[in-house]
Amino acid sequence: MLFFIHILFFPLTLLSVISPSAAGIFATTDGKIDFTSNAPLELITASSSSLRGALNTEKNTFAFTIGVQSFRGFNSPLQHEHFNEKFMESDVYPHATFQGKMIESIDINRKGETTVRAKGQLTIHGVSQERIIRSTVTVAEGKITIDARFSVLLSDHNISIPKIVSQKIAEEIEVHVNAEMVQKSASER
Amino acid sequence: MQKWSKKAPPNAKSIGKAMRDLPLFLSSHTLFRWPHWVLFLLFCLILNVKSYGQVPIFISHPSPGENVHAKLLYQDSNGFIWAGTKSGLFSFDGINWRPVLVSDSTTERSVTAIYESANQQLWIGYESGKIDILSQGKIAAFEPEEGTPVVPITGFQEDAEANIWISTYGEGLYYWFKNRLYSLNADDGLPDNDVYVIAADNQKRIWAGTDRGIGICYLEKGEKKVEILDQKDGLPDNIVREIVYAPSGEMWIGMYDGGVGYYTLSTKKFHTLSGWISGSVSSLLPLASSVWVGTEHDDLWVWEDGQFHPIEKEKTQIYDMLADREGNVWVSVHTRGIQSTYESLSFEPAEKQVLSIHCGKSNVWYSTEDGLFCYNRTTGKTEKKASSFSANIVSIYEDETGNLWLGTIGDGVWHLDIKTGQKRPYREKDGLANDHVMSIDGKGNEIWFATFGGVSRFRLDDQGAVVGFDRYSRADGLSIDYIYQVYVDKKGRVWFATDGKGVSMWEDGEISTIEGLDRETVFGIDEDPSGNLWFSTEEKGVCRIPENGEEDTLIFARTDVATISSFAVVSDQALLITYPTHIDMYYPSSGRIVELEQDVGVSNIGEELNVIDRDKKGRIWIGANGKLIRFSPSELQTQFAPATRITGVKIFLEDIGDRDPMNLAYNENHVSFNYVGLWYQAPRNVRYEHRLVGYDIDWVESRNQQAIYPSLSSGTYTFELRSSLLGDFSRSRVVSYTFHINKPFWQTWWFFLLAITVGITLTYIWVKNWEKRLRRTERLEKEKIESQFETLKSQINPHFLFNSFNTLISIIENDQEVAVKYVEKLSDLFRNILAYRHQAVISLKEELTLFENFHFLQKHRYGDNFQVNLEVEESLRTGSSVPPLTLQLLVENALKHNIVSRSKPLRVDIHSHKSGYLTVQNNLQVRREKAPSTQMGLQNIVHRYRLLSDQEVIIEVTKTHFLVHIPLLKNETTL
C-alpha cells in the first residue's frame, strides 16, 4: 500500500519543481545511478537507469528520485533479495530521494562544464540527511548533463548491517549519478 | 645515571668538590651511554608520532550526560560555562553539569543557539524554532504575538540599539524591535534563508552567513538594510559556516569549501589563509597570535606562524569552541567530548632533561645530555645538530651571523658553524676565563661568557671570527669569580649573577657591585619591557632594582620561595617563575599568583638553572624534563582568580525564589547558601571562606560549596563569601548577600499586651473556680459528717438496738447457730459503718454487701412481713459507686414510715436501670402515727449527690409507691 502512495505522491513534488515556468526546467526519467560497496571481503556493485529528476535553473531547485527496487547487478540473487528486504526495506521505503536547492546557479546560456553544489535532503531508507553534493554540470543546447559522485554512510540512514556480514558490506557506499536532463519545451506543459 | 646539575652548592668549597668529581663521572657517563645512532633513531620515531610538535595539553571534562554531546559552548558574563545539547541546556561549574529546566518540557528540546544579551538575559534557541529566555534564574518562553519560527534557531545577536537578531535555518533572520518580531529574509535581499551563523561587527551590524554569501544587515531609521558580500567581492566560498568578530578589526570567516579567511573591516578586503585541506569549517576561534579551526570531519587545526598545524588527527567533528576568561580554550569534539587547555601553554616533546635553551632567529636551540637539538618553529620539526661533545652543553648562544656558541661543563666553549658544521673549541688555555661556562650572552660583535673563573668577553669581526679576548675577575672588581649568569641589557650594560656575592655590573669598562644583594647567591637575571632589571636569588626570591625615585636600593617582590629554577619577565605586569614541579605566573603589582601545574600539563620541570629564554615574539620557552614548554602571553586571560558566585539561597532547603530576603518570617530561620568559585583550570583547588555577619565572629574556611545556618534568631545578617586557589584570601573579592529575619509575633508590643490581658483574666477565672471548689468540698465534708452522724444516730438508735436484741433473744431460743450468725452480721454492720464513714463513695458491690448485713438483721426481725427484691446488673456492681449507706438509709426510711405487718407486708424493690440509675421502691402504706423524723436522711442523700454528680436524686411519690432514683456514679468520679 505504502508503495503506491509513494508512487502516486512523488510526481507531485516533481511537478512543484517544474510547474511555474517551463523555460528553465530540465528533466530526466532514465538517469543512471550506480553504487559500489568496497568492503574488505567483497566488492558489490549495482546500478539502475530509472533515475527520475528535474531541475529548475531559474529557481535553482531540484528533485531526484529512484526506485530502490530498480537496482540490478549484485553478486548473487540472494544478495539482491537481502538488499531489498533486509537493508533497504524497499517495500516500506520504495524510493530514495534528493531534493533541495542549488548553491551555484546554472547559466544555461553558457555552454560547457561547471561545478555546482546541490544542497538538500537526501532521503534513503526513510531517513533524511541534509547533504551538500558536488556535481559536474555540462550545459549543451537544450540539455544539461549532471555527473556526481558522493558517498552515503549507512549509519546516517539507520541501515544496520549484521555483524556477521560486516566484513562484506562497506560502511560507506560510493554512489555515482549520471543523468542527461532535457529541457521541457513550452508545448509539453 | 647520575647527571650533572647546573645548580651548584652555594659555597665555593663544595663547588670545588663537585668540580674535582667532574671528570670521573663524565667518563663513566660516556661508558654507559647507548650508541648515538640508536638513540637518534628512537628519537626520530618519537617525533614522527606528531608532525606538529607544539601541542596543547587537554584536560577532559565530564560530558553533560551519557551520550550527550555539547553542540554549543558558551560562557556568560557571570563566568559560567553553558553547553547546548540535544537533551537541553546545561551549566558547568568545573566539576558538575546541571541541567536547566526548560519553560515547556513537552516539546523537543534540542538546543541550537545560546546568547547572552547586554542586560544579562540568556537567549536559548531550539531546533524546533522555539526560544526561551533565562533571566535571573528563571526561564520563560519567548512568545511574541507574531509567533516563533518553525525551523531551527541558529543564533542570536544584539545590535547597536539593543535589538535582538535571531537567525534561523530556513526562515532567514528575525529581529525583536520595539516588542515586535520582524523578519528579514530572502525577499528583503538576504542572500539565502538558510542562515548558519550570525555575528556582529565593530559597528554592531549583523553578519549572516548563508549558502549564498554573507548578508550584512542593519536597521537605518527603522528600515531594514542588507548588503551582500559574496564571491564577487572576493569571498572564497559562498557557503559561510562560521563568522567571528575579532576585536583587532577583522571578521573571521569559516567556509564549506573555502577554508578560513578574514575580512578586514577597515580596508574592506578578504584574505584567505593558504594551505587549507580539511574541508568544511565548523568552528573558529581567532586568538592573539593564532587561529583555532574546528572542522566538520577533520578534527582540530591551529593556524600559527603562517601555517596550519593539526592539533589532533581523528576523522571527527568539532562541534564548538570557546575561549574563557581564564585563558582556557574549550573544544567540544564528537569523539573526545569536552576538553579544555590553558591556551598560553603548549608542549614539545624532548628526549631527556633539557639542560639549556636559547631562542635564535628562527630556531629554538636546546641541549640534553645527548647533545644539541634544533627545534624549527615553522616546520615544527626537531633535529639533532651535534652530539660528539665530551661534556654536557649548559649554555647556548646564537650570534649575529647565526653561528652558535656552546658552553660546557669542563670543556670550555665550542663555536659551531651552522652552515659547515665545523666545531672549534675555546678553552682556558686559549684565553677563556674558565672551562665551566654557565651562561653566554652578547650584543653585536661582543660575546660574554659567565664561568666559574670569572667573565670572558670575545670580540668578533663582521664575519664572526674571534679577534680578541678580554677577561674580568676579582682583580678587576668582580665580587667573586663564580658566575651563574651574564646578561647584556638594552643599554649595553652587562650584569653578572654571582655565587654568594650578589650582582656585579659592567659599564664602559668599569665593574661595580649592586648594593643590598652582596650576601646573596643570584642565579638569574632578566629585564622587563620598561628596562627594570630583575634577579632571582637562592634565598630571597625575586627582586628588582627600583626605578629612579624609589628610595630602597632593591625591591624584593616575592621572598617566600627558595627553589626557583628559572624565571623570565613576561610583561611589565607579570613574571614567569619555574620550580622543579610547577610554574607560577606572578603579578608583582598585585602580588597575585596563578599556579600552573599538573592540571594544565606542567610537571617535572627539573632543577636545572636558567633553562629559559624568550623569543622575538615575546613567548617564553622553558626546558623541562622530557619536554619543552612554551608560554605565550595570553590576551584571552582577564581573570586571575576564581570567580566567586552565590548560586542559590535556600530556606529550609527550598529555594528562596521570589521572596524578599529582607522580610523573612521568624520561623524561616534555616538559611543555606550554595556557591561556587569558578576556576575551570583546577576547580578542585578552590578554597572558600565565608562568614555570616551578625552570627559568625570570624571567617570559616571550607572546601564545600554550601553553608548552612540552621536556626537563626531574628535580625539582619550578611552572608559574605570569598574564594582563593592557594589559601591566601587577602586579595579575594568578597561576595555578599544580606537578609533579614523578622521578630516572632510574641516579641511584638501588641502580643505582649494581649498576653498580659489574657493572663490576668485566666488567673481571675482560676481563682474564682478554685474558691468555688473549695466551698463545695467544705460543704461535702459537712454533709458527709452530717450523714455519718445521722447513720450512727439511727444505728445506735435505742429502738434499733432494742429491736435487734429482741430479735436476737427469740433466735437464741429457736436456733443458736442462727443467733451466732446474727450477732456476727450485727457486728459486721457496725464495723463496716465505721470503716466506710470517711469515704465519700464506695463501690456498689461494697454497698450491697453492707446492705446485705442490714437486710439479714431486719429479715429476722420482720420475717415475711418485710420483703426485699434485689435486681442489680452484675457489671454495675463493680463499675459504679454510691455514697456509703445510701441503700440502708432509704430502706430504713421505708421501714420507719410504713406499716410492716402480716396483712400488709412491706415490699422493697431495688433494681438498676441501663440509664445508670438505681431505683429503690416500696409500696406506700403510711403509718398513722408519724415516727419522729427530722427528714434528715433523705435530704442528706440529695445534698451529697448534688456535690458528687450533675445528676439529681429523683424522688417520686405515686398513690401506691414511693420511689427514689439514685444516680450511679462512674467509678472514676471520685472526690
With a cut of 60, say whether residue A11 has pLDDT above it: no
Contact between B243 and B265 under an 8 Å Cβ cutoff? The reply is no
What is the nearest CA distance from B147 to chain A, expressed in angstroms?
26
Q: Which residue of A has its CA nearest to B213?
A: A103
What are residue B963's DSSP bridge partners? Answer: B921, B956
Search chain A and give the residue with CA nearest B240: A103
Query: Tens digit of pLDDT for each residue in A64-96?
Result: 999 999 999 999 999 999 899 888 999 999 999
pLDDT for residue B857 is more than 60: yes
Sheet architecture: strand order including B206-210: B195-200, B206-210, B213-220, B223-229
Pairing state of beta strands B195-200 and B555-558?
A: unpaired
What pLDDT, on the 0 to 100 scale, is given for residue B210? Answer: 94
**Chain B partners within 8 Å of A101 (Cβ):** 211
CA distances from B138 to A100, B122, B125, B145, B658 (A): 40, 10, 16, 21, 10
Residues in chain A closer than 8 A to B240 (CB atoms)? none
Q: Which comes out higher in pLDDT, residue A1 or B257?
A: B257
Mean pLDDT of B449-458: 92
CA–CA dist B671, B574 (Å, integer) = 42
What is the maximum span of chain A, computed from C-alpha positions, in angstroms?
A: 55
Closest Cα in chain A, distance from residue B211 (Å): 6
Whether A132 and B256 lie within 8 Å, measured CB to CB: yes
pLDDT at position A188 is 47
Question: Burial, B306: exposed, middle or buried (Cβ in 10 Å; 0-12, 13-18, 19+)?
Answer: exposed
B492: helix, strand or coil: coil
Cα separation values, A126 from A6, A89, A157, Å: 11, 9, 7
Q: Where are the alpha helices (DSSP H) in B574-627?
A: none
Three-state secondary structure call for residue B931:
coil
Q: Which residues of B touch A119 (CB under 8 A)?
A: 194, 211
Give residue-wise pLDDT tens across range B393-419: 999 999 988 899 999 998 899 999 888
Residue in A closest to B256 by C-alpha:
A132
Supply the DSSP symbol for B559: -
State the amino acid at position B121 in one-letter form.
Answer: Q
Check CB contact of A104 with chain B, cutoff 8 Å: yes
Nearest to residue B254, comparing CAs of B228, B231, B273, B234?
B273
Q: How far apart, in Å, are the Cα atoms of B477 and each of B31, B452, B505, B508? A: 42, 16, 9, 13
Residue B52: other Cβ atoms inside 10 A: 19
- Subunit contact B211:A104, Cβ cutoff 8 A: no
pLDDT band at B873 (very low <50, low <70, confident <90, very high): confident
State the smallest CA–CA distance between residue A70 and chain B in angstroms: 33
Section B785-799 average pLDDT:
64
Q: Distance, in angstroms, between A158 CA and closest chain B CA?
A: 18
CA distances from B475 to B336, B430, B472, B519, B764 (A): 64, 20, 7, 19, 111
Q: What is the pLDDT of residue A14?
A: 52
Q: Is the pLDDT of residue B177 over 80?
A: yes
In this structure, are residues B279 and B239 in contact, taking their beta carbons and an 8 Å threshold?
no
The Cα of A84 is separated from the nearest Cα of chain B by a number of Å equal to: 30
Distance CA B968, CA B844 (A): 8
H or E segment and range at residue B562: none
Tell me how far apart the alpha carbons of residues A137 and A116 are, in angstroms, rounded to a whole number: 7
B257: chain A residues, CB-CB within 8 Å: 117
A59 interface with B at CB cutoff 8 Å: no
- The more confidently predicted of residues B83 and B900 is B83
The mean pLDDT of B322-342, rounded to a whole number, is 92
Cα distance from A102 to chain B (closest Cα, Å)? 9
Residue B827 clears pLDDT 50, i.e. is over it: yes
Q: What is the 3-state secondary structure (H, E, C) of B147-186?
A: CCCCCCEEEEEECCCCCEEEEEECCCEEEEECCEEEEECH
In this structure, are residues B412 and B435 in contact, taking their beta carbons and an 8 Å threshold? yes
Contact yes or no for B212 and A103 at CB 8 A: yes
Query: Looking at residue B645, what is its pLDDT?
Result: 92
Q: B551 burial class (0-12, 13-18, 19+ CB within 10 angstroms)?
A: exposed
Q: What average pLDDT score do residues B731-737 get?
A: 90
Structure-block grid coordinates of residue B44: 626520530
Task: Report the pLDDT value the prediction gives residue A9, as an integer from 0 to 100.
Answer: 47
CB contacts < 8 A, A to B, total 13
Q: What is the pLDDT of residue A115?
A: 92
**pLDDT score for B792:** 60
Determine the pLDDT at residue A22. 55
Mean pLDDT of A2-15: 46
Q: Look at residue A40 and tell me whether its pLDDT is greater than 70.
A: yes
Which phi-psi region, left, alpha or beta, contains residue B445 (left: φ > 0; alpha: ψ -120 to 50)? alpha
Helix H, strand E, coil C: the string for A26-73 is EEEEEEEEEEEEECCCCEEEEEEEEEEEEEECCCCEEEEEEEHHHCEE
- Quote the minimal CA–CA distance from A4 to chain B in Å: 30
**How many CA atoms lie within 13 Å of B131's alpha carbon, on the beta-carbon side?**
28
* A171 in B contact zone (CB under 8 Å): no
- In angstroms, the CA B156 to CA B197 distance is 9
**Confidence tier at A1 by pLDDT (50, 70, 90):** very low
The DSSP code for A85 is: I
CB B682 within 8 A of CB B672: no
pLDDT band at B825 (very low <50, low <70, confident <90, very high): confident
Count of C-beta atoms within a 10 Å radius of residue B849 = 15
A101 to B211: CB separation less than 8 angstroms, yes or no: yes
- Are B423 and B393 spatial neighbours (Cβ–Cβ below 8 Å)? no
CB contact A117 to B (< 8 Å) = yes
pLDDT at site B668 = 87
The yes-or-no verdict on residue B368 having pLDDT over 80 is yes
**Which residues of chain B lie closer than 8 angstroms to A100, CB-CB?**
none
B671 beta partners? B651, B709
Residues of chain A with Cβ-Cβ distance to B194 below 8 Å are 119
Check if the beta carbon of residue B507 is closer than 8 Å to that of residue B526. no
- Give the integer Cα–Cα distance in Å for B591 and B430: 48
pLDDT at B657: 82
Residue B595: pLDDT band (50, 70, 90) is confident
C-alpha cell at position A158? 539507520
A111 CB near a chain B CB, below 8 Å? no
Handedness of CA B340, B345, B349, B353 (dihedral sign): negative
B603-619: per-residue pLDDT in tens? 888 888 899 999 888 88
CB contact under 8 A, B239 and A101: no
Amino acid found at B32: F
**pTM of the predicted model as reported, rounded to 2 decimal places:** 0.72
What SS3 class is residue B890?
Answer: helix
Q: Is A132 on the interface with B (CB under 8 A)?
A: yes
Summarize the confidence of residues B504-529 as an average pLDDT.
88
Write out pLDDT tens, residues B621-639: 999 998 999 998 877 788 8
Angle of the B749-795 helix axis to the B816-836 helix axis, nearest 10:
150
Measured between beta carbons, the chain B residues lying within 8 angstroms of A103 are 211-212, 238-239
Q: What local confidence, expressed as pLDDT, does residue B388 receive?
A: 66
Q: How far apart are CA B336 and CA B316, in angstroms?
A: 9
Q: Look-up: residue for cell 553558457?
A: A110
Is residue B543's pLDDT more than 70? Answer: yes
3-state helix, strand, coil in chain B (%, to 5): 20, 40, 40
Give the 3-state secondary structure of residue B440.
strand
- Mean pLDDT of the residues in chain B: 85
Please provide residue B317's backbone torsions phi and psi, each rounded to the nearest 5 degrees. Answer: -100, 135
How many angstroms separate the Cα of A26 from the Cα of each of A52, A61, A64, A111? 11, 11, 12, 15
Contact B582, B595 (CB under 8 A): yes
Q: Closest approach of chain B CAs to the CA of A103, in angstroms?
A: 6
Cell 533571566 locates to B135
Total residues belonging to chain A:
189
Give the confidence band of A122 by pLDDT, cuts at 50, 70, 90.
Answer: very high
* DSSP state at residue A106: P
Are A119 and B212 an interchain contact pair (Cβ–Cβ within 8 Å)? no
| Chain B interface, Cβ < 8 Å to A | 194, 211-212, 238-239, 256-257
CB contact under 8 A, A132 and B212: no
Q: Is the pLDDT of residue B783 over 50?
A: yes
Query: Which of B27-31, B96-100, B578-582 bottoms out in mean pLDDT, i.e. has the lowest?
Result: B27-31
Say if the Cβ atoms of A119 and B238 lie within 8 Å: no
Please give, one letter per residue, the 3-state secondary structure of B230-275. CHHHCCCCCCEEEEEEECCCEEEEEECCCCEEEEECCCCEEEECCC
Strands B566-569 and B555-558: unpaired
Cell numbers found for residue B955: 424522688
pLDDT in tens, B60-117: 899 998 889 999 999 999 999 999 999 889 999 998 999 887 776 556 689 999 999 9
3-state secondary structure B779-795: HHHHHHHHHHHHHHHHH
Does the pLDDT of residue B254 top 90, yes or no?
A: yes
Q: How confident is the model at residue B927 (pLDDT cuts 50, 70, 90)?
A: confident
Q: Do B256 and A101 touch (CB under 8 A)?
A: no
- Are B191 and B200 in contact by the 8 Å Cβ rule? The answer is no
pLDDT range class, residue B968, cuts 50, 70, 90:
confident
B192 Cα to chain A: minimum distance (Å):
9
A153 at the B interface (CB within 8 A)? no
B211: which chain A residues are within 8 Å (Cβ-Cβ)?
101, 103, 119
Q: What strands, in cross-sheet order, belong to the sheet with B575-578?
A: B566-569, B575-578, B583-587, B592-596
